[in-house]
Amino acid sequence: MGRHPLIAALLLAGCRFDPAGLSAPGPGDDGGGPTADAPDDRGDAAAGTDGPAPADAPVDSLPPIDDDVAHVPDPGEFAGTADLVLAGTIDTSALTIDGAAPPAGIVFDTWPQAGGPELAVLHTRAVTVPTAAQVRVVGSRPLVILAGGDIDVTGTIDASAHRDQPGAGGHGPGGGPGAGATGDHVDVFNDGGGGGAGYGVAGAAGGGAGCTQATCAADGGGGGAGYGSASVALLDGGSGGGAAPAVSQCTQKAAGAGGGAIQLYSAVRIEVTGAINAGGGGGGGGVHCDVNWDAASGGGSGGSIFLQAPVMVVSGILAANGGGGGGSAGMNGPGTDGKDGAPSADQASGGLAGPGGLAAAGGRGGARNGTCTSGAPARANGNGGGGGAAVGRVAIRIKNLSDVGGATISPVANTDTY
C-alpha cells in the first residue's frame, strides 16, 4: 500500500565530483555564512591550502555548480570540498550540526530566496545519511543541502513537526499563510474545535458544539487555506493549526505546528532508500480541570520536500502528511492529542474524545491515502474536536528520464525536468 512510481535514472559510473587541495572557511559570527544583506562576507578557502582561508579569499575558490539550483541565488551556487556523514541534529537558526560549526570543507550559510523565507544552505561534496541515522532538522529557516557529489539517504531525515514544535522552516501553532482558525465560544458550555491548517490543499474545519442535525450553536474554526504551487516555486514550510477557544481556567494545549521544508540538490545523483519526513504536528487534545473541560485544537499541515539532481533513484519514503486534530475533553477526563504526520502514505489519526460524554474526536490528517477530515461535532453543552490538517508538497526535478523506480510518496509528487 502506498507504492508510487517515480521517475528514476541509470546510475552514472565514475562521476563523483572530487576537487583536490581545497578546504572550507571557518565559521563567522553567524555560523559561517553570508546573510541576505552581506553575501560577499564569506570566508572562502583558497586552492592548495590545508586550513581555512582568510576572509577576503575569492568566492570562486570553491567548486561552482553549473546547474541552476532551484530557490538558491546564483552567488550561493557552490559546493563544499569535503564529504559529510550526517547524524544527529541540524539547526537552521544557529547554522550548526550537532551544536557545532560544520567541519573544514563544509560551508553552512544563509541566502535570500526571492519572494520566500531566507534559506539555510549546507554546501558539501558528497553526503551520506547512514542506515541507522536519524537526522533531525530544526530551526527557523528551510534547509537546502547543496552537494557537488552524490547524496545517499539510507537512514531518516526528519524535518517534521513534533506536535506543537515545527520542523525547519515550518510555522508554529496558529501561524503561516494556511493557519487554521480558532473555534467559537457560545454561552458557558459550547466550544468549537480549532481548524486544521492548509498547504497543498485547504485544511479541515474543527467540530462545532451544541449541534442538532441541522445547526450548531458554536462553529468550529475554519480550515486554513491552501497556498504555494505544486512545483514548490517557493520553498516554505507547513502552517499551524487553529486553537480551541480560551474560555476556562485550564492551561490549554497548543495546536499542531507545520512540517518543515527541505531541499536536496546534487550535481551528480540522489538516491533515497530510507525516508525523508516533513509531516505536520498533531493538534492538542482538550484539557479537563475542576469543573471545566475544553474543546480541542487543529493539526498542523505538512511541509515541503524538493529534490533536484541529474540522476535520481528513489525507492524509499518521501512524506509531507498533515497532522490529526485533537480530541476534545469530556465530563470525566481530557481528550487525546492528534497524531503527527507519519513517514508513510497513511493518514494521521485524530485524537480520541475524552470520557464521560459531551466530547468529540479529532479529524484525520491528509495523506496520499485520504484527504483531511473535520473534527467531530458535539451535542449541547459539549466541545468539538480539532480539524485535521492538509498535506504539504513534494516536488522532483530531474534531467535524465531513463528508467522507472518505485517509492512511497505522500502526497503525490510533482515531477518535471530541467
Least confident of 56-60, 164-168, 330-334, 372-376: 56-60
Residue 292 within any structural domain of the chain: yes
What is the average per-residue pLDDT within 257-270?
97
Which is it for the CA torsion 164, 167, 168, 174, positive or negative?
Answer: negative
Residue 294: strand, helix, or coil: coil
Q: How far apart are CA 357 and CA 386, in angstroms?
A: 16
**Quick one: what percent of the chain has pLDDT higher than 70?**
84
For β-strands 190-191 and 116-124, DSSP reports them as unpaired
pLDDT band with cut points at 50, 70 and 90 for residue 10: very low
Residue 404 within any structural domain of the chain: yes
Residue 51 within any structural domain of the chain: no
Q: How far apart are CA 16 and CA 151, in angstroms?
A: 10
Residue 151 within any structural domain of the chain: yes
Q: How far apart are CA 137 and CA 262, in angstroms?
A: 9
Q: How far apart are CA 269 and CA 302, in angstroms?
A: 26
Residue from 325, 255, 336, 246 nearest 292 by CA = 246
Q: What is the pTM of this model?
A: 0.86
pLDDT at 290 over 80: no
Cβ-contact 232, 200 below 8 angstroms: no
Looking at the 3D structure of the chain, how many domains does it have? 1
Residue 15 within any structural domain of the chain: no
Grid cell, residue 222, equals: 475554519
Residue 34 within any structural domain of the chain: no
Q: Which residues contact 204 (CB under 8 A, 6 or more apart)?
A: 195, 196, 223, 298, 325, 363, 366, 371, 372, 373, 374, 375, 387, 388, 389, 390
Residue 154 within any structural domain of the chain: yes
Cβ-contact 292, 167 below 8 angstroms: no
Residue 66 within any structural domain of the chain: no
Neighbours of 136 (CB within 10 A): 19
Classify the phi-psi angles of 17: left when phi > 0, otherwise alpha if psi is within -120 to 50, otherwise beta.
beta
**DSSP states along 47-89:** TT-SSPPPTT--GGGSPB--S--TTS-GGG-B--SS-EE--EE
Phi, psi of 61 (to 5 degrees): -75, -15
pLDDT band with cut points at 50, 70 and 90 for residue 188: confident
pLDDT of residue 63: 86
Mean per-residue pLDDT over the chain, rounded: 86
pLDDT at 107 over 50: yes
Long-range contacts of 39-42 (CB under 8 A, 24+ apart): 39/73, 39/75, 39/76, 39/111, 40/75, 42/107, 42/109
Q: How many CA atoms lie within 13 A of 63 on its CB side?
A: 26
**DSSP states along 316-334:** SEEE-PPPPPPPPPBTTBP
Q: Provide the residue range defining the domain that includes 222.
A: 1-9+76-418
What confidence tens digit (pLDDT) does each residue in 37-94 have? 333 333 333 222 233 333 333 445 578 998 999 999 999 999 999 999 999 999 999 9
